[in-house]
A and B are shown apart, each in its own frame.
Chain A
Amino acid sequence: EVQLVESGGGLVKPGGSLRLSCAASGFTFSVYSMNWVRQAPGKGLEWVSSISSSSSSINYADSLKGRFTVSRDNAKNSLYLQMNSLRAEDTAVYYCARDQSNYLEFDLWGQGTLVTVSS
């Protein structure tokens, strides 16, 4: 089955760190660019980061630069998001999403993992 499964979310205190993972299966992970998209409770979608198939091109939302780091391991069919210096406003469901054709159009999404930043 073609799917993405996120893990690693949870409750973290402000200033803390968390590492999210996204396990891909059922398709050739290594040929696709991948992305993280988040959604705060009751809010719209917010793009977080993208990483090309070979990790040669990485982009971040301006508001997150310096705090979040995206990476991937094609041998393990996995995508990661290292989140540091977390703030209350980072509270959201984090989705990993596959870019179907390098036009940043996301044809496959995981179920999401909830990150809650609270003291």
Chain B
Amino acid sequence: QSVLTQPPSVSAAPGQKVTISCSGSSSNIGNNYVSWYQQFPGTPPKLLIYDNNKRPSGIPDRFSGSKSATSATLAITGLQTGDEADYHCGTWDSSLSAVVFGGGTKLTVL
């Protein structure tokens, strides 16, 4: 059971928009930065979003992050088949003194 809650899977058609939620509590998301990672099968995760809503260099602006209270959301617009991957949210948990991740969400582009 992960500390952060993500839907196991989401799907949408090419060109559409999809959102992936990440729910936590005041000890983690509520008071710390959230990051998002994209992971293709057999490869390491890649930083997609940091500090809730910032994109590393090279990440297209089709990817955006937001946070409200104890929940965070990753939005992907203009979906492409190449976006099919697992997406993980992560943050620091001040009560656990540990980094916590969501269980991961598998994105399918139909």
Contact = CB atoms under 8 A, between A and B. Distances in A.
Given A45-B90, A103-B50, A109 B44 contact: yes
A45 B44 contact: no
A105 B35 contact: yes
B45 interface: yes
A47 B88 CA distance: 12
Contacts, number: 64
A27 B101 CA distance: 26
B101 A110 contact: no
Interface residues of B, number: 26
Q: Which size class do A's interface residues fall under?
A: 20 to 34
B110 interface: no
A107 interface: yes
Contacts of A106: 35, 37, 45, 47, 90
Contacts of A45: 37, 45, 88, 90, 101, 104
A62 B96 contact: yes
Task: Name the residue in A35, A45, A101 with the highest tally of chain B Cβ atoms < 10 Å from its Cβ.
Answer: A45
A54 B43 CA distance: 29
Interface of A: 35, 37, 43-47, 50, 59, 61-62, 95, 100-101, 103-107, 109-112
30 contacts: A35-B99, A37-B45, A37-B99, A43-B103, A44-B2, A44-B101, A45-B37, A45-B101, A46-B101, A47-B99, A47-B100, A47-B101, A59-B97, A59-B98, A61-B98, A62-B96, A100-B50, A103-B32, A103-B50, A104-B90, A105-B33, A105-B35, A105-B50, A105-B51, A106-B47, A106-B90, A107-B50, A107-B56, A109-B45, A110-B44
